[in-house]
Amino acid sequence: MLSVAMIGKNEESCITAALESVRQVASEIVFVDTGSSDQTKKIVEKIGGIVIDFPWVDDFSAARNAALQHCTGRWILSIDCDEELASGVAVDTFFESLERDSSSIAYMVPIHSVLQNNRRDTHLDIRLFRNGSGICFCNPIHESVTPSIHRLYPNVSVETASVSIHHYGYSSGEKNKRKLVRNQNILLKWTEAEPENPYAWYKLGLTLRSTGAQYASACLFKSFELLVACEDRNSFAFRFDLVQSLLESLQGNDKALEGFIQSELVRAFP
């Protein structure tokens, strides 16, 4: 039995496609609505989904975890309103085999994003995981179940599912601008609440860089300093992307700082 967990607000323009893409494989669809004023909730209910009202508190993990609390399936698939589960015989076969899987805890799923100017990007994300295993979302934004899996199941090997998701949320330039403003506000609160969190500063730096803000390099360097100070720094998957983004943001304008970063890389990341 598969539960599909979704969250959203005013998603009437895209949610039908997302719902239709999971309809055949889902035993139930749990949708947490964070304040829609359009037809979103009616569309979900019409297709047989369960709608849960949840006040928006500037925390994506809080909303997603609220959805998890209402899921009753053995497995949970997390999908966004601007995404679609790929279809085909292989997809059906995979979910049929999932019912016989008694050992796996979670699966990484390839996410194929359609960007502006028809550019494409693919990355892996853990979107499918066993219900009742204690797995939950972490971080108020750029939320993920990965930290909880690493904490609860440190020795588990997460395989890649033979299904994929298509993401269309980055194809609209105007929508991206609104997202950046929203994300920046949440990230500022996050770094204020967790000033020693290198990942929070990293994500704030990337967002500020996308908006052209002058403090992007400072935030990225703050993340770098915090990361170097961590004893388990080599376990942070984003560390090399952070360094690349930091050096790119300096653009050769601060040779002394670039030299310091390079020396710290040799020392801290042998």
Q: Tell me what pLDDT residue 179 has.
A: 83
Q: Tell me what pLDDT residue 171 has.
A: 57
Q: Tell me what pLDDT residue 243 has.
A: 85
Q: Indicate the class that CATH gives domain 173-268.
A: mainly alpha
Q: Tell me what pLDDT residue 114 has.
A: 82
pTM over 0.85: yes
Q: Tell me what pLDDT residue 175 has.
A: 66
What count of Cα atoms within 13 Å lies in the side-chain half-sphere of residue 30?
21
> How far apart are the C-alpha atoms of 257 and 44, rounded to whole Å?
52
Q: Where are the domains of the chain?
A: 2-167, 173-268
Write down the CATH number for the domain with range 2-167: 3.90.550.10
Q: Tell me what pLDDT residue 73 has.
A: 96
DSSP state of 49: P
The crossing angle, in degrees rounded to 10, of helices 173-193 and 198-211 is 150
Q: Tell me what pLDDT residue 237 has.
A: 84
How far is the CA of 52 from the CAs of 10, 80, 196, 228, in angstroms? 14, 15, 34, 42
pLDDT along the chain (270 residues), means of 10: 96 96 96 98 97 97 98 97 92 92 94 80 94 96 95 93 90 69 93 96 93 86 91 83 86 69 67
